[in-house]
Structure 1
Amino acid sequence: MTTTSGATETCAPLTPLASRAMSAAAADDVARALKALADPLRLRALSLISASPTGEACVCDISELTDVSQPTVSHHLKVLKEVGLLTSERRGTWVYYRIVPAHRGALRSLLETFAPATVDLTSRTAPPQPDAQPVDLDPLLDRVVRDLAERFPAIEPDRVRDVVRDSSTALARSAGVDRHLVVLTERFARQRLEDLARAATRDGVPHVLFVCVANAGRSQLAAALLHRYAGDAVVVRSAGSAPASDVHAHVRTALDDLDVGDAVFPKPLTDDAVRAADVVVTMGCGDVCPVYPGIRYEDWAVGDPALASPEGVDAIRADIDAHVRTLLRELLPDLALPSA
């Protein structure tokens, strides 16, 4: 550099100051994390996880934010996990995502600075720890009641509260869920309220309910296959007369092949689900379904995959697939079905 006097000066490195900069490796890590955050869905997913009463959420919860498929949502969560912002844990049927504790403060600052009206991380109940005392469910269930009452304004708030409380009790007793009881209660109660609303209005979309004993095999496969072929053209439910605590492991493998993600868990049979259905399909559960006029009832004689070999499960799935295709040809004659 040349001064006004004509002398040349050299730039002396500011070593003490430069030493305070982050290392190249740290800068690379931060840049990767910021790049991963530069997506609207991922930011919304983080805000949802942060705002969850239990500090966690699964693919099903996050899928409600968008019209993309669950596998696409899973990809976005995987990106956030790969850069160290999220951690995941599979518990039975479900995979839950949490914000890594070391980054919780930074993400809180980011979300609250740029979107303070959309996230509240400080007033939520702290996530339960493995060795912690049992969490008081009442305030968490009260929040579920408030959220669902807003979502279903046509249903009396007292009725919403009763459905939420009954759903929590039924799942805790019959399905044996524990740590993720609030999440499952919200989802199960939401389905029941949707069924209550539909039973009163009948929107013209076919509604099919599959029922077996445990809701851990046949009925789950049938529901997944029907949803795969028909999508939102049919509302599909499944339930069990004596629901298990989890889907059978080898059936879970078959369901994974159908890309259902974390969308399935054993649920008890309710009167609401039967009343809302146009078609009730039973599979090996006897005369457990209440009979209402105007509802079509079928019984499919298909094998139980609970004790079947992998080959046996494949054969049962093929049998159920054939039944599902026949049913869809009757319900939706114009639906194009893939070749078997």
Structure 2
Amino acid sequence: MNVTLTDAGEACSPVATHAIGQEAAGAVAATLKALSDPLRLRMLSAIASDPRGESCVCDLAELADVSQPTVSHHLKVLKDVDVLTSERRGTWVWYRITPNRRGAVTALLESFAPATVAPVADAPAENARPDFDIRITHLADELAAEVPGLRPETVLSIVRESYTSLARTAKVTGALVPLTERFARQRLADLTRDRDGSVPQVLFVCVANAGRSQLAAALVNQIAGGRVVARSAGSRPADVIHPRVRSILAEIEGDVAAERFPKPLTDDALRAADVVITMGCGDVCPVIPGVRYDDWAVGDPALASRAGVEAIRDDLAARVRALVDELIRTAEQEQS
């Protein structure tokens, strides 16, 4: 047995060590190395504090001014050390903390930056995972019974994705489930649309879906009288429709206007449309074969006075009348 002398020359008796093992130390070191990047820590804290229990890659991409490949690289590093798991739903990938790492991640973030995980404890009961699963699953079962042509798993995926998409901007969570039902119904209708047996469909797209795209869709539905269907969506939807636009929508649609809300752009809506019209806001939509694309340079109601918003409405009404007449005429010619 080796005896070690202290600085004072006294013998030091060896003591049984309880140090972490070599293999475990290597695994911990790899995890800590993966976490030793500011952007990765911010992504981790964003996921930990998300009341939905998960975050979409599109949310995480907004944390820093970096390219999508860079975001994907950082997330892959965290997945490789088993800190994150992921699931693709539709066109987006969703990330959540690996269940058996949740305690460690929470302890780490709370120890060094307490504010990063505080929202989890304060999250509204509406967003609690058990209640979410029960209500969303029940809604999916109801909708699946209405569209027997789709697998129940597909309907559930659409309902879950619709909920989480709306939750990103919702300020009043109590209305999320009813809004999810309306949004999911629209998506399912788009997904199952029979082009040969339905009227022409137009999709208006702007950034926030809180102004001109909403007005244009309302005007189409008013002027066309059911002979053309209009949808609207936003690439980065706002939480509410602009107040001045809301009042004009009420004049156009009456009580129906109260059911309008900003919605995110989906592949379902793009593929179901015969015509996609962007609203002069610089948005670029994915090109779907067989779909006609156009851009209307229209003023932004969010920057206009009441008189300005009315002028924008009149401009849109003239454009909509011409479009509706053209689509109806073309549809009648194809039927004859």
- 2:150 is the counterpart of 1:150: no
- 2:169 is the counterpart of 1:169: no
Report the residue type matching 2:258 in the other structure: D
Contact 2:204 2:213 in 1 (8 A): yes
| Counterpart-to-counterpart distance in 2, 1:223 and 1:321 | 10
Cα displacement (A) at 1:285: 3.5
TM-aligned CA distance change 1:319 to 1:141, over 3 Å: same
Q: How many aligned positions are there?
A: 204
Q: Percent identity?
A: 58
Match of 1:300 among 296, 312, 321: 296
- 2:314 is the counterpart of 1:318: yes
State the partner residue of 2:173: 178
- 2:267 is the counterpart of 1:271: yes
In terms of mean alpha carbon deviation, does 284-293 or 151-160 score higher?
Answer: 284-293
Equivalences for residues 113-152 of structure 1 within 5 A: 133-134=125-126, 136-152=131-147
Contact 1:279 1:297 in 2 (8 A): yes
CA-based RMSD of the aligned residues comes to: 2.0
Query: What SS class does the counterpart of residue 173 from structure 2 fall into?
Result: coil
Unaligned stretches of 5+ residues in structure 1: 1-130, 336-340
TM-aligned CA distance change 1:157 to 1:250, over 3 Å: same
Contact 1:212 1:240 in 2 (8 A): yes
Query: What SS class does the counterpart of residue 277 from structure 2 fall into?
Result: strand
TM-score between both structures, scaled by the size of structure 1: 0.57
State the partner residue of 1:222: 216
Report the residue type matching 2:324 in the other structure: L
Report the residue type matching 1:231 in the other structure: G
1:27-47 deviation line (CA, Å, top 9, x unaligned): xxxxxxxxxxxxxxxxxxxxx
Contact 1:171 1:177 in 2 (8 A): no
| Counterpart-to-counterpart distance in 2, 1:302 and 1:238 | 15
Contact 1:141 1:182 in 2 (8 A): yes
Q: Which has the larger radius of gyration?
A: 2
| Counterpart-to-counterpart distance in 1, 2:215 and 2:171 | 21
Cα displacement (A) at 1:261: 3.2
Contact 1:241 1:285 in 2 (8 A): no
Structure 1 segments, 4+ long, off by >3 Å, are: 131-135, 174-177
Unaligned stretches of 5+ residues in structure 2: 1-122, 332-336
Equivalences for residues 169-208 of structure 1 within 5 A: 169-198=164-193, 202-208=196-202
Structure number having the greater helix percentage: 2
Report the residue type matching 2:285 in the other structure: C
| Counterpart-to-counterpart distance in 1, 2:310 and 2:184 | 32
Contact 1:175 1:267 in 2 (8 A): no
